[in-house]
Structures are given as C-alpha cells and as structure tokens.
C-alpha cells in the first residue's frame, strides 16, 4: 500500500490535506536518507528522524505509534506497489501476484539499501512482526482468496490445501530473493511457476491415435 | 555430513585416529557452549574457542582454515543428518529430502540457539557463503540429480525446468521455517508437497461413464 492509498483509510488519522502529505513524505524520505547514510536501524531514534526531516517529534508520533510502524511504512513505500489483479482467471491473478514478488526480489537485489533494510528488519523482531502484520499477511490473505475463488470456479482441484499451495507458489520467489541471491529472477518466471504447478509433474500419457 | 563422515575424506587432514576425533568434538562442543552462553558470532575468536576447548590455537588451525569453516561444521553437526535416499522412486527420494528439511525446520524452531545461529550466519556474509557452499549447494545438487533421474525414468515431464522445480519443492519448507515461524510443519508435509506437485492443480475431468 502506498502512502497515497493510506490517505483514504477511513479509520486512520486524518491525512487528507496536501500539507499533511508533504510532511509525511518528508519524514519517510528522512528515514530513507539516514538509512542510505548507513545509520543502523537500532540507532534510528524518533528524535534523530525528526531532526533530519525538520519536524517536531510530536508530528511523527501523531502519525505513527512508534519507530517500528514508521519504519514499515518506509519499506512499503520503497517496495513495488501491490498489483492490480486482472480478475480474468485464477491463473492471471496468480501471475500478477508472483510478478510483484519477482519485481520486489529484483529491487532488493539492485538496491544495497533495501537489501540492508530487510536484513536489519529480520534481526529486529518487533519491526519484523510489524512488517509481517501490515505487509506480508494481507498479501498472503489476498493470494489465498484468489486460490479459493479458483476452487469455486473450477480452475483448481477441490482437494488442494490452499494454504499450502500458497506457500508453494510464493516459496521459489522468496527462495531466490532471500536465500540464493545469485539465482536468476528472469522475465516470465511468475508465469513459469504458475503453469508448472497447473500442469503437474507427471508425464502426459500419449493421446489415443 | 557428520564429523564421522569427514574423517574418511581422502584429501583432508589425517583425522582417522580416535584421539583426533575427540579433540575435534571438544572444539565443536566448545563453540556450541559459547553460543549457548550467548556469545555473538563476531566475538567468537579462535583464541577464545581454543581456551574454551582446552586446546592450542594451532590445533584448531590444523583442522579448519578459519572461524568460518569451523562454524559451518558446528552448524552441520547440530543439523539433522542428510537422509538416506530410498532409491525406490523419484517420489520417495523427494519425500526423504523434504522430510529432512522439515526436521531441520522443526529443530530450528525448538532450539533458540540454532535459531540465533542461523540469524547470525545470514548477517555474516563470509560464514553464509561457507555454509552455502558446503551444505546448501551439495543438498541442492543432490535433489536436482533426483529430478533428472525422474525425467529419465519417465516419472517427471521432460519439459519441466528441474532447477525451478527444485526451488518450488524446497520453497514452502524454507518459507515456513524462515519467514513464517508461526506456520505449521506437520507430519506428512513433505509427502503433501510432493503429491500436490505431482498431481497438478487442474481439476481432473470426470472419467467417462
């Protein structure tokens, strides 16, 4: 979710005015600048962020409950936006979802900062939990929903465990991004994963002549 | 590979005598003890390890080129051993390989030390590279070989990209172990992953009456 999207959250703090958006952007960019300068996450105090962004600490606390929530918004802003689901078929929706993960993987690789940010995030349990709750988990729920719809529409076997299938779909992208940074994330990988799974692994018996 | 296995490496240093094995074990256990006491990887010097194990530094350097190589052996000793492949079919071999990953995942979860060790390893590029080269990569090559044999034996479609399929198989186990420590790693998960992939996702058209 981008900052623009978060403006329209009905239950969030009032962020509708352009002035507010400018301030928010300055804060997020301030954090990004500090990270680019190599300041470790542990030393990113609200005080220091406020100083860098040229705002008061209260201005930050009015928008974010703390460092963790702010930091997660910074990461979210740096990541590729959530995809528009074409809605034409389960296959197309899954490819769109995996393609976003692929883009995110490519971005993590090309950006030393983002790479560093993920690593720090993972070793800081509170931040990781916040990122998980507000980014990873909604993404996972959306994908599971796409799979459930596929089952209803007859595109997916009824006996497949959709929670497991979700991990099977996401696994290779994460594996290549996180564990094997030397592995390829080529164009068309999302499609290849989805179609390999759809087709299954067993050789097709030759059709009757 | 266990320490016992490494004894028989023809090109390694002579480690055949029991005395040598005892010393090796004392060193590996010394490192484990330091980790259990919460000493961070960065502070694990060869000097400190030698003191803890009651050996001289030269004794360690005779066996390991440095801290990284020693540390990887410590992790390998703590992990479940590589599985015996039944060799009865591609399906059975794959299940055995994934079951070992599941066991490793369960172990990582139940052991705070091991969990901590993996986290530190990942944030120490030299150690991660050594672990990757001597543990992850051989395991990956073995699994790819199982898939290639499956293709030759007609258990696996000839047009499936085995490198990708390998990541699809391993992905969900790693995802649940590393990224979603709250997710289930139930008995039978290895079998479920393999069979889901073998069957494919498309609903089976009903057989002719």
Selected residue of B149, B201, B203 to mutate for chain A interface (largest A Cβ count, 10 A): B201
For residue A203, the SS3 value is coil
Alpha helices in B37-183 (DSSP H): 46-53, 57-63, 67-78, 90-110, 112-122, 125-131, 137-152, 162-174
Please compute the mean of the pLDDT values over residues B115-121 and round it to a whole number: 80
**A204/B161 Cβ within 8 A:** no
Average pLDDT, chain B: 85
Contact A89, A65 (CB under 8 A): no
Higher pLDDT, A11 or B66: B66
Task: Give residue A86's pLDDT.
Answer: 96
Q: Is B49 on the interface with A (CB under 8 A)?
A: no
Task: Give residue A154's pLDDT.
Answer: 94
Q: Which residues of B101-124 are buried (b: 16+ CB within 10 A; e: fewer)?
A: bbbbbeebeeeeebebbbbbbbbb
Nearest to B165 by CA among B179, B146, B180: B146
Task: Give residue B209's pLDDT.
Answer: 46
A183 chain-B contacts, CB cut-off 8 A = 167
B147 chain-A contacts, CB cut-off 8 A = none
Contact B67, B44 (CB under 8 A): yes
Q: Is B190 on the interface with A (CB under 8 A)?
A: no
CATH, domain range B3-67: 1.10.10
Higher pLDDT, A156 or B17: A156
**A165/B196 Cβ within 8 A:** yes
Chain mean position to CA B67: 19
Report the C-alpha gap between B51 and B30 in whole angstroms.
Answer: 9
Which residue do the tokens 């005598």 mark?
B17
Higher pLDDT, B121 or A172: A172
Report the C-alpha gap between B42 and B121 in whole angstroms.
Answer: 10
Q: What is the pLDDT of residues B81-114, one digit of tens each?
A: 888 999 999 999 999 999 999 998 898 888 877 8
Task: Give residue A209's pLDDT.
Answer: 46
CATH class of the region B90-199: mainly alpha
Report the C-alpha gap between B111 and B106 in whole angstroms.
Answer: 9
Please compute the mean of the pLDDT values over residues B67-83 and round it to a whole number: 87
Q: What is the pLDDT of residues B181-194, one digit of tens each?
A: 678 899 999 999 99
Nearest to B171 among A155, A161, A168 (CB): A168
Rg (CA), chain A: 20
Nearest to A198 by CA among B206, B191, B157, B179: B157
Describe chain A by its helix, strand, coil percentages, rounded to 5: 70, 0, 30
Q: Scanning every residue of chain A, which has its alpha carbon at the shortest distance from the alpha carbon of B185?
A: A164
B164 chain-A contacts, CB cut-off 8 A = 172, 189, 192-193, 196
**B179/A175 Cβ within 8 A:** no
Could you tell me the CA-to-CA distances from B105 to A52, B117, B171 in Å, in that order? 42, 13, 12
Nearest to B144 by CA among B162, B170, B164, B157: B162
Q: Which residues of A144-162 are buried (b: 16+ CB within 10 A; e: fewer)?
A: eebbeebbeeebbbeebee
Q: Structural domain boundaries of chain A? A: 3-78, 90-199
Task: Give residue B205's pLDDT.
Answer: 62
Label residue B9 by pLDDT band (50, 70, 90): very low
Label residue B126 by pLDDT band (50, 70, 90): confident
Nearest to B192 by CA among B76, B54, B99: B99
Protein fold of A3-78? Tetracycline Repressor; domain 2 (1.10.357)
Selected residue of A122, A152, A170, A171 to mutate for chain B interface (largest B Cβ count, 10 A): A171
Higher pLDDT, B1 or A35: A35
Task: Give residue A153's pLDDT.
Answer: 94
Say if B3-67 and B90-199 have the same CATH topology: no
Report the C-alpha gap between B48 and B31 in whole angstroms.
Answer: 9
Please tell me the distance in Å from A135's CA to the nearest CA on chain B.
13
Q: Is A183 on the interface with B (CB under 8 A)?
A: yes
Nearest to B178 by CA among B127, B135, B119: B119
Q: Scanning every residue of chain A, which has its alpha carbon at the shortest distance from the alpha carbon of B116?
A: A123
Nearest to B168 by CA among A67, A161, A197: A197
A155 chain-B contacts, CB cut-off 8 A = 201-203
Nearest to A119 by CA among B12, B81, B26, B122: B122
- What stretches in chain A show pLDDT beneath 50? 1-13, 15, 206-209
Q: Is A160 on the interface with B (CB under 8 A)?
A: yes
């Amino acid at each position: 979710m981008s900052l623009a999207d978060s403006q329209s959250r009905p239950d969030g703090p009032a962020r509708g005015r352009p002035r507010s958006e400018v301030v928010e952007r300055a804060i997020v960019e301030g954090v990004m600048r500090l990270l680019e300068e190599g300041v470790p996450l542990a030393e990113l105090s609200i005080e220091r962020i406020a100083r860098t962004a040229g705002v008061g600490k209260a201005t930050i606390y009015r928008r974010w409950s703390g460092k963790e929530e702010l930091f997660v918004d910074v990461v979210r802003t740096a990541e590729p936006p959530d995809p528009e689901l074409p809605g034409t078929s389960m296959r197309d929706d899954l490819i769109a979802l995996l393609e976003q993960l692929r883009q995110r993987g490519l971005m993590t690789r090309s950006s030393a900062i983002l790479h560093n940010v993920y690593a720090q995030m993972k070793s800081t349990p509170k931040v990781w939990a916040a990122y998980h709750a507000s980014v990873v988990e909604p993404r996972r729920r959306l994908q599971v929903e796409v799979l459930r719809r596929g089952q209803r529409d007859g595109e997916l076997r009824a006996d497949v465990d959709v929670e497991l299938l979700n991990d099977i779909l996401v696994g290779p992208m994460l594996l290549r991004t996180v564990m094997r940074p030397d592995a390829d994330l080529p164009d068309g990988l999302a499609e290849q994963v989805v179609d390999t799974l759809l087709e299954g692994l067993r050789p097709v018996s030759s059709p009757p002549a």
